[in-house]
Amino acid sequence: MPGKELPLIAFDNSYSRLPEHFFRPAKPAAAAQPQLIRYNQALADQLGIALDIGDTARLAQIFSGQVLPVGAEPIAMAYSGHQFGHFNPQLGDGRALLLGEVIDQEGRRRDIQLKGAGPTAFSRNGDGLAALGPVLREYIVSEAMAALGIPTTRALAAVLTGEPVIRETVLPGAVFTRVAASHIRVGTFQYFAARGDTDGVKTLADHVIERHYPEVTGAENPYAALLSAISVRQAELIARWLSVGFIHGVMNTDNVAISGETIDFGPCAFLDEYDPKKVFSSIDQRGRYAYANQPGIGQWNIARLAECLLPLLDEDEEKAVEVANGVLSQFGDVFQAAWLAAFRAKLGLVGEKDEDRMLVSDFLDLMQRGEADFTLTFRALCKLAGGADDAVLEAQFADPAGLADWLVRWRERLQGGRSAAEIQAQMETVNPALIPRNHRIEEAIQAAIYNDFSFFHRLSDALRKPFAEDPDVADLCQPPRPEQRVTRTFCGT
Ligand code: AMP
Ligand code: MG
């Protein structure tokens, strides 16, 4: 049985003050032998958590749910969702529970959630548990995204439970502690809308406005402004994903955070060689969530949100649909502008010219044809801007045909009062040298399953500085050799 201890986490739980049917009380399961894997002290400091990092036994107790800090009110949130296009009215936190919320050092409300701490009222046939692999994957990738400057949920802790988890084989069980601006999803709105509970939709929308979008309060139609603001953040987020070669892998509406943070790192993966059709997820057989499909799917997901909000947009249904369509029609433009801005910066361009879009897409086409590594190619381009020989870039291409002509156009466009060193330095702030490559994540997981966490820690440490070029981590920057390639990734279930 979980016991109680003195408060060192100052919880202030707003979600559990919402109506009862928004969630179910939850209780962490017993864990035989909790053992701390990693604790994110820098994030804990941001959150104002005063736990002693030296006391790993106690941290393991708390972040496996064995000890409930005073003020924690564990709940499982209710939500629905479209999974691969099919609506499931009853999902909810089946292997996660919200411990509570804290106000961080910057005054922002943040959720602290345990993932894999046992079954809840929403577990359906699942065990509510998490295997070590998916926990480490989420730890590595979510923290890497944060270091890349991309809005994301964060990793506070990972703990081994000492309990087995039965999947295709028996695996070590673990609990992941996730921090998010909130865990409210498009699917949370769908949960109430699907039940015809317009009051629920309104209560949730008001909570979201207060919590994430206070700026829309004064708008003429606050709910339309809310929809628009959520849509803009989603479009901008997906543009950022594309700019680092990220494939979320399972952009179901229950995996879309209303806050605009990247959430639910299941079968996610980063591109090695550039291929816009790339899919890693084993369950995404039709490529619904392929790299280049992500903006279109993002808009589709926002359309599902708009449907939920219709009764709030206008009393007259026809007018409400008109308002929703007006917002939805802007998604593409917002995405395109954000995408172009991100790739302009990657090419080192300042100002805006009509030819820029073509310059970017021609470069991507060359990369695709040349099977060029997405990350290393842009990084090599930084070096060319600084004066390195073209061969540095050509080395990334299996077939560099057409590259020389493109470089002439690029150099012409790059002109303008900056020194070569300045341009390179600027480009290197947006083109990472290091990303969490799939084969390295896999290597970290495999070693950890045999109780060797050293590579997991080395990789996690290195990924805190993705834009640095550190010779000590040169091996981590390299793409996989043929025998190291990961071709399939799996959901964390
Ligand atoms: P996800 O694939 O993480 O987006 O999860 C989709 C849905 O399945 C959510 O409602 C999860 O809570 C639920 N789920 C996933 N894994 C488990 C599990 N091991 N036990 C119970 N529910 C789960
Ligand atoms: Mg999910």
Q: Give domain limits for the chain.
A: 3-183, 187-345, 348-486
Cβ-proximal residues to 279 (8 Å cutoff; 6+ apart), any chain: 247, 249, 287, 289, 290, 291
- pLDDT surpassing 90 at residue 3: no
Distance 344 CA to ligand 2 centre (A): 33
- pLDDT surpassing 60 at residue 5: no
Q: Are 230 and 243 in contact, with CB atoms under 8 Å apart?
A: no
Residue with tokens 């966490």: 453
pTM value? 0.97
Place 16 in a pLDDT band, splitting at 50, 70 and 90. Answer: very high
Place 1 in a pLDDT band, splitting at 50, 70 and 90. Answer: very low
Looking at residue 7, what is its pLDDT?
Answer: 58
- Give tens-digit pLDDT for 231-245: 999 999 999 999 999
Q: What is the DSSP string of 320-342?
A: HHHHHHHHHTTHHHHHHHHHHHH
Ligand nearest to the CA of 256: 2
Among 75, 83, 123, say which to mutate for ligand 1: greatest number of ligand atoms within 8 Å of CB: 123
Cβ neighbourhood burial of 58 (10 Å; 0-12, 13-18, 19+): middle
- Give tens-digit pLDDT for 360-395: 999 999 999 999 999 999 999 999 999 999 999 999
Task: Tell me which residue of 295, 287, 395 sits closest to 336, measured CA to CA.
Answer: 295
Place 38 in a pLDDT band, splitting at 50, 70 and 90. Answer: very high
β-strand partners of 100: 112
Q: In this structure, what token pair is assigned to residue 462?
A: 């290195």
Distance 15 CA to ligand 2 centre (A): 18
Looking at residue 22, what is its pLDDT?
Answer: 98
What stretches of 259-390 show up as alpha helix (H) in DSSP? 294-313, 317-328, 331-347, 356-369, 374-385
Instruction: Please give the number of the atom of ligand 1 that sits closest to the Cα of 254.
Output: 4
Distance 185 CA to ligand 2 centre (A): 9
Instruction: Please give the number of the atom of ligand 1 that sits closest to the Cα of 491.
Output: 2
Ligand nearest to the CA of 266: 1
Q: Are 65 and 31 in contact, with CB atoms under 8 Å apart?
A: yes
Q: Which amino acid is at 433?
A: A
- Give tens-digit pLDDT for 303-362: 999 999 999 999 999 999 999 999 999 999 999 999 999 999 999 999 999 999 999 999
Q: Ligand 1 atom 7: the closest Cα is on which residue?
A: 91
Q: Which residues of 215-224 are buried (b: 16+ CB within 10 A; e: fewer)?
A: ebeeeeebbb
- pLDDT surpassing 60 at residue 178: yes
Distance 277 CA to ligand 2 centre (A): 23
- pLDDT surpassing 60 at residue 6: no
Among 88, 95, 165, say which to mutate for ligand 1: greatest number of ligand atoms within 8 Å of CB: 95
- Give tens-digit pLDDT for 414-468: 987 899 999 999 999 999 999 999 999 999 999 999 999 999 999 999 999 999 9
- Residues labelled catalytic: 254
Distance 268 CA to ligand 2 centre (A): 12
Q: Ligand 1 atom 14: the closest Cα is on which residue?
A: 94
Residues with CB under 6 A from ligand 1: 91-95, 123, 126-129, 254-255, 264, 266, 491-493
Place 491 in a pLDDT band, splitting at 50, 70 and 90. Answer: confident
Instruction: Please give the number of the atom of ligand 1 that sits closest to the Cα of 129.
Output: 19
- Give tens-digit pLDDT for 253-269: 999 999 999 999 999 99
Cα–Cα distance for residue pair 365/367, rounded to 1 Å: 5
Place 489 in a pLDDT band, splitting at 50, 70 and 90. Answer: confident
- Give tens-digit pLDDT for 88-121: 999 999 999 999 999 999 999 999 999 999 999 9
Q: Ligand 1 atom 12: the closest Cα is on which residue?
A: 94
- pLDDT surpassing 90 at residue 4: no
Average pLDDT for the chain? 96
Ligand nearest to the CA of 138: 1
Ligand nearest to the CA of 267: 1
Place 492 in a pLDDT band, splitting at 50, 70 and 90. Answer: low
Q: In this structure, what token pair is assigned to residue 460?
A: 């996690």
Instruction: Please give the number of the atom of ligand 1 that sits closest to the Cα of 83.
Output: 6
Residue 60 burial (CB count, 10 A) = 24
Q: Are 65 and 117 in contact, with CB atoms under 8 Å apart?
A: yes
Looking at residue 416, what is its pLDDT?
Answer: 79
Q: Are 77 and 183 in contact, with CB atoms under 8 Å apart?
A: yes
Distance 94 CA to ligand 2 centre (A): 9
Q: Ligand 1 atom 6: the closest Cα is on which residue?
A: 91
